[in-house]
């Protein structure tokens, strides 16, 4: 089966993750999808495929004869889709021999426009798959899942020589929990790749250092008729905190290696208010400066209004995988060489986000990220091409072929 055929069947599963569920996986539909994938793996000959209690799908392909000492490598993709836009009842539009122009997204009134997505002109002549404008498509990351499944089927059915291989499909990557229960020891590879990026030919090994930061603000509610010098309006204190952060350091004003403070949520009354931030920076020293800035703001607010007025809680979410991968650059160099050998120009850019691979790298398995062939993830403009997916399959197979010749 071709990767695109698998993909079109997989997007029928609504696997949105739910950050408020408190379970793993965070949605029952992900478990249903996991069980289906496990059954499919067994049907194509991966007899040791399994689903664990947390919904992680794994399988291994032992090395072919004479390749037992080759460098072990793994491939990982996530099953969930983003919780911030509907993934239910996806109706894909399939446009063969795409002309490179504007594409109306069903009757939604939205249009995929080359003026906004300049790469579309380079996709002319391909089979383009889009949404109908009412849902996301699910290429992030069901495209990665479909590509890895297609690779496994090809290896088994065509008896392709290889070293020791491991594969895993994870739940809940989109809510930052995809590696929470990843068993690195059982995965047992020297290196791995997530297949969770954009255009085919991308290879990413840098991502944000990431923290969450929450200000909880306690005010003093006094009748407004007699509130002078006594009331502390928690909502106004929250506004004051926001104004103390650099206004240009926000996602809408930054790119490349530039970090930011992103205000994700606000709630407030006179008595209580809260500010929910995510804080991002590629540079570890700059991240420490950002966290010190937040702590300084907490201190200033408490000095002005009283101890406990603002309480800041900071939690690490993930770190820049470059810290690990730069000591194992053969993972990146091998992927670049394979991509180039297929006539594709390798593209290396910093990830302005994170992947399961960021956390897995710090578990002792350097884990760069490969492109899937998809674009504009997490919303109604998401799209992918059949040709891009097939190239992604070829890249994975090429990397597997390269590793069978490598030893520690």
Write out the catalytic residue numbers.
80, 173
CB atoms within 10 A of CB 19: 13
Which structure tokens are listed for 365?
A: 């398995």
Alpha carbons 240 and 233: distance in angstroms, whole number: 11
Backbone phi, psi, residue 318, to 5°: -165, 165
Q: Is residue 136 a contact partner of residue 382, using CB atoms and an 8 Å limit? A: yes
Alpha carbons 386 and 118: distance in angstroms, whole number: 19
Name, in order, each residue with C-beta under 8 angstroms of 324's C-beta and a sequence gap of 6 or more: 361, 362, 366
Q: Is residue 92 a contact partner of residue 128, using CB atoms and an 8 Å limit? A: no
How deeply is 32 buried, as exposed, middle or buried, from its count of CB atoms within 10 A (0-12, 13-18, 19+)?
middle
């Amino acid at each position: 089966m071709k990767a695109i055929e698998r993909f079109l069947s997989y997007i029928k599963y609504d696997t949105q993750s739910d950050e408020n569920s408190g379970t793993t996986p965070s949605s029952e539909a992900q478990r249903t999808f996991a069980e289906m994938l496990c059954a499919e793996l067994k049907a194509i000959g991966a007899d040791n495929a399994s689903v664990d209690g947390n919904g992680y799908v794994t399988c291994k392909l032992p090395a072919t004869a004479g390749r037992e000492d080759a460098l072990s490598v793994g491939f990982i993709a996530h099953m969930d889709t983003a919780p911030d836009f509907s993934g239910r009842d996806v109706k894909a539009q399939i446009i063969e021999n795409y002309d490179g122009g504007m594409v109306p997204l069903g009757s939604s009134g939205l249009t995929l426009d080359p003026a906004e997505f300049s790469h579309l002109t380079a996709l002319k002549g391909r089979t383009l798959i889009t949404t109908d404008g009412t849902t996301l498509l699910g290429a992030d990351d069901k495209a990665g899942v479909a590509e890895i499944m297609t690779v496994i089927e090809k290896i088994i059915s065509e008896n392709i020589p290889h070293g020791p291989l491991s594969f895993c499909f994870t739940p809940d990557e989109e809510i930052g929990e995809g590696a929470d229960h990843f068993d690195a020891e059982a995965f047992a590879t020297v290196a791995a790749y997530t297949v969770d990026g954009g255009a085919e030919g991308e290879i990413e090994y840098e991502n944000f250092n990431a923290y969450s930061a929450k200000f909880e603000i306690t005010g003093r509610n006094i009748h407004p008729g007699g509130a002078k010098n006594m009331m502390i309006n928690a909502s106004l204190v929250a506004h004051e905190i926001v104004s103390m952060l650099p206004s240009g350091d926000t996602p809408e004003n930054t790119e490349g290696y530039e970090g930011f403070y992103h205000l994700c949520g606000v709630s407030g009354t006179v008595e209580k208010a809260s500010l929910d931030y995510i804080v991002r920076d590629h540079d570890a020293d700059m991240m420490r400066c950002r966290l010190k800035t937040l702590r300084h703001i907490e201190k200033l607010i408490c000095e002005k209004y009283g101890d406990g007025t603002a309480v800041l809680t900071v939690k690490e979410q993930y770190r820049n995988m470059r810290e690990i991968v730069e000591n194992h650059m053969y993972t990146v160099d091998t992927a670049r060489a394979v991509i180039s050998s297929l006539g594709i120009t390798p593209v290396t850019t910093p990830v302005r986000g994170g992947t399961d691979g960021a956390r897995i790298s710090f578990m002792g398995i350097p884990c760069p990220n490969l492109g899937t062939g998809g674009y504009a993830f997490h919303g109604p403009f998401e799209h992918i091409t059949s040709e891009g997916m097939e190239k992604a399959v070829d890249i994975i197979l090429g990397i597997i072929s390269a590793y069978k010749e490598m030893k520690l």
